[in-house]
Amino acid sequence: MPPLILLLRPHQWLKNGFVFVGLLFGHAWTDPAKLGQALAAFAAFCLLASAVYVMNDLLDREQDRRHPKKKHRPLAAGTLGPGAAMALGLACLGAGAIIAWAWAGSAPWIFFAYVALNVGYSLGLKHVVILDVFIIAAGFMLRLLAGTLGIGIAPSQWLLLCGLMLTLFLGFAKRRAELTALQADSAGHRRVLEHYTAPMLDQFIGIAAAGTVISYALYTVSAETVALHGTRALIATVPFVLYGMLRYLWKLHARGGGGDPAQELLRDPHLLAATAGWLALVILLLGGLRLQ
């Protein structure tokens, strides 16, 4: 891709799909107003996230040059100058703020909180052990809130808990992948890695993975869920979730993956099939399919 587009990391926009969870589980996908607001929220998060990526690449370009993969990013590789990157980042920030304020629902504070959170992360909070991953998870939780609370859908406490555990799992897996890839020079690229060890991260990942599967399984069988969706069959989607997480762990430990969830999803046919299978079955069940 051209350096300006590469700098925006468009494959990472996949993460902003979290804003559509509210439409799906809130049975609001047929409401044109809510659908339009969710699409605007998605667009706003894409632009704001890209602005954050530009800021991070500007601040971290020296450390990125020590990373086996990140050294190929436009600023680290020198294929794009800081001036052009800064102009692009400001343009994304301004456009994202306008969309968030005007069309993305009734809670624009969510988007500004996302930007503020990421500015704090880039300026120093990313060096605080454990808190760094919780901040990454908080960014995903704000996406969930933008697609629920922000467009007038009451967020399910079970789904919020499941979202938190899933994003903590992905965050700690990312740190584990970085620790493995960089080995002796891990702290030179990301200072917080000197406070992590592989056994410690494996424990954190195990806790978060178990929490994700258990919280999602409990959500599918809770009385509130059965009453809302009119089906007890959502439990049938749990195997897709479990398979996807086990596959991700296999990629992390056996194939040196796990550093970029969006890339892993797009490149691994097993993860893609598990996600597509889960989504298809959820849509069918919420649409009225009855399993005997």
User: How far is Cα 132 from Cα 250, in angstroms, rounded to an integer?
Assistant: 24
Structure confidence at residue 122 (pLDDT): 87
Structure confidence at residue 202 (pLDDT): 95
- pLDDT by residue (tens digit) across 177-186? 988 877 655 5
User: pLDDT category, 248, cuts 50, 70, 90?
Assistant: very high
Domain boundaries 1-155, corresponding CATH code: 1.10.357.140
What average pLDDT does the segment 272-289 reach?
92
Enter the tokens of residue 91.
Answer: 């343009």
Structure confidence at residue 292 (pLDDT): 56
Enter the tokens of residue 198.
Answer: 């592989």
Of 104 and 187, the one with more pLDDT: 104
Is the pLDDT reported for residue 106 higher than 60?
yes
- pLDDT by residue (tens digit) across 200-228? 999 999 999 999 999 999 999 999 899 98
Structure confidence at residue 134 (pLDDT): 96
Is the pLDDT reported for residue 235 higher than 60?
yes
Is the pLDDT reported for residue 149 higher than 80?
yes
Can you give the three-state secondary structure of the chain, one letter per residue?
Answer: CCHHHHHHCHHHHHHHHHHHHHHHHCCCCCCHHHHHHHHHHHHHHHHHHHHHHHHHHHHHHHHHCCCCCHHHCHHHHCCCCHHHHHHHHHHHHHHHHHHHHHCCCCCCHHHHHHHHHHHHHHHCHHHCCCHHHHHHHHHHHHHHHHCCHHHCCCCCHHHHHHHHHHHHHHHHHHHHHHHHHHHHHHHHHCHHHHHCCHHHHHHHHHHHHHHHHHHHHHHHHCHHHHHHHCCCHHHHHHHHHHHHHHHHHHHHHHCCCCCCHHHHHHHCHHHHHHHHHHHHHHHHHHCCCCCC
The reported pTM is 0.89
Burial of 288 (0-12, 13-18, 19+ CB in 10 A): exposed
Structure confidence at residue 239 (pLDDT): 96
